[in-house]
Each structure stands twice: as structure tokens, then as C-alpha cells.
Amino acid sequence: MRPPRRSPRRRSRSPLGAIVVLACIAALAALVALVAPTTTLRGEARAVDGDTLNIAGTPIRLVGFDAVELDQTCLRDGTEWPCGREARAHLADLVAGREAVCVSAGRDRYRRELARCEAGDGDLGAAMVRAGWAVADPEYALALAEARLGHRGIWNSRFDDPAVWRRTRGEGDADPWSWLWRWFGA
């Protein structure tokens, strides 16, 4: 005679386990942020393009947004215009006569410091996005919405996303996973 078959027991998972795992991940992320070396650069900045500065010979790539490229053009009312040059001019105006303070947490593959910078009234990234000279990461979503709704800068024209523009001109990354490396700041 066979013993009666037991039905498999389902273990009910407690939400407490998920909460503990998430708390551990958050604590690890906070620890990494505290331990990660940061560099503060300050001084008179010169705009190289719409998202790159130079302070005392050190190139700094502003993070959180991607401005149109220096040689990029946009189309407004059927006419091309140098939107990339105007983006650089706007960044130059934001830093003109002001000390820029940049906090860097690493470098990109071109050896530029990856940083958030402030000058004058505040965050240069937010100012560039709000003025309509860039596409942006989620952290600048409100500034991006303001620019798009206000038809400011490039949002008053037709343009290629800067990453697409670089890729179509052979200036982008050949590696299809490059977005992931950029996301991790490598």
C-alpha cells in the first residue's frame, strides 16, 4: 500500500524578506557613494561645447544631459541653423565671469572628468536643459518638460537626438552596449 501523496507545500513569502534585501542594496549603494572618490574643481570655466567645460586645462563633461553637438544643425521653418554653436554660446554665457564649481566622481573613456557643475545661479545642467539646448536624463525631467512645452532652443525645431547624430556621422560608439557603460560612468 502506498502512502498518501502529499501535495507540495507552498511557502508563502513574507514581504519582510524583500524589504530586508532592498534595505541591504540601499545601504550598499550609500556606502559606495560615501567611499567613491570625488574631486572638486573650481575656477574660471570655458565652454568647449554645449555639455563640456574646461577649467585650467581640465576637460569636464557635464552629466545628466546630452546637448546638441557643436557642429550639429537643426531645422526651423525649413532653414538649417547652427543649434550646436548656439548651445555652446548659451553655456559660455552661463559661466562668463563666474567661478564654476564642479564635483567629479570619475572620468569617461576620453579622460574627461564626469561632473555636476554650478556657476552663478545654480546647476549648469538644469540651466542648459531648461533653456532647451539638450535632451536629458530623468533627473532633469522637470527642466526638460519646461523647455519642450515652452518650445525653447532645439525644441522649437526639428533635430536629431545628439547620440543619433554622432552615430550617423561615425562619431558615436561602435559598441551596441556603450549606453550601459555610459550609464555606469565607465
DSSP for the chain, please give it.
Answer: -PPPPPPPPPPPPPHHHHHHHHHHHHHHHHHHHHHS--EEEEEEEEEEETTEEEETTEEEEEPSEEEPPTT--EEETTEEE-HHHHHHHHHHHHHTTSEEEEEEEEE-TT--EEEEEEETTEEHHHHHHHTT-EEE-GGGHHHHHHHHHTT-GGGGSB---HHHHHHHTT-S-SSTTHHHHHHTT-
pLDDT digits (tens, 9 = 90+) for 12-47: 566 666 566 555 555 565 555 555 567 899 999 999
Q: What is the per-residue pLDDT for 162? A: 95
Kindly tell me if the per-residue pLDDT of 174 is higher than 50: no
Cβ pair 111, 118 in contact under 8 A: no
Cβ pair 67, 144 in contact under 8 A: no
Cβ pair 113, 66 in contact under 8 A: no
pLDDT digits (tens, 9 = 90+) for 123-139: 999 999 999 999 999 99
Q: What is the per-residue pLDDT for 38? A: 78
Q: What is the per-residue pLDDT for 181? A: 45
Whether the predicted model's global pTM rises above the 0.75 cut: no
Strand partners, 104: 39, 115
Q: What is the per-residue pLDDT for 175? A: 46
Query: For the chain, which domains are there?
Result: 36-168 (2.40.50.90)
- The per-residue pLDDT of the chain, averaged, comes to 83
